[in-house]
Amino acid sequence: MSSTFRIGGDLDVRRLGFGAMHLPTEPGPDRENALTVARRAVELGVTLIDTAHLYGGGANEELLAEALHPYPEGLLITTKVGVARTGPGGEWKLDGRPEILRDQVRQALRRLRTERIELLQLHRVDPDTPLADQLGALRELQTEGLVGRIGLSEVTVDELERARELVDVVSVQNRYNLLDREHEPVLDACAAAGIAFLPWRPVAWGKTGAEGEIAAVAAELGATPTQVALAWLLHRAPVVLPIPGTARTGHLEENVAAAGLRLTPAQRDRLDRLAEGAQGASG
């Protein structure tokens, strides 16, 4: 099992990344701790950090820049655009209009203190804006050199196929974990095409009765259930790049250590069956 993946065929990252969404951005002790957590992630060898315009209206991007700029060589900070405060009452809504996407990218460049976003993901497909217009805007930004590579988030297989007719899609970020495999077909499509698959909410426990079996595997390995869930994702397919998030250094260190966990074939089979059973129960 490789510990690295080459996004788009040329961007090397370690497969276990970090999701920055939960980092507090308001001034005070919690923000100071968030800066420490972000720096500790890089110290531990994390080279893929995920953020978005939606996370605090760009405040999360600013936090990462404060913590990590100037960025060490090899660090990829990927952000997402396409959700904006353009609802009737100024609330957040999907907004993939080209002018909104361009503005959010330019804001991200300023907040992240960079001249180019190496991986930009469309946070959601806006049903009110033609997909060709949304991806056309990102393609133009790519042509201008402001964006390196284009990814998608929370898409169906059909949306992925249509998008690939318009742009070179190098990543997909969908909800997926050991007990939630709704997007299994999307992951399979990504694996077949060599597209990076970034599962958000990579660790989540439901009321399926499955936790006992996960805990049993964890006990056999001298690990935690969370580490087992992350290790299962890493074993699931070479294109899977989990991005677990936390605001606590201890949890971060626990998550990163999961990259070194090796499941036996028998343990993988047990977890595979467990996941299939959980999916069947929720379907």
* Annotated active-site residue in 5, 55, 197, 200: 55
Q: Which of 259, 211, 207, 209 is nearest to 232 (CA)?
A: 259
Q: Which of 9, 17, 12 is nearest to 240 (CA)?
A: 17
Tokens of 260: 């070194």
Place of tokens 């007990």: 179
Residue 55 catalytic?
A: yes
Q: Quick count: other Cβ atoms within 10 Å of Cβ 182?
A: 12
Find the helix packing angle between 265-282 and 225-236, rounded to 10°.
90
Residues 6+ away with beta carbon under 8 Å from 125: 82, 94, 96, 131, 134, 152, 154, 155, 159
Q: Which residues are catalytic?
A: 55
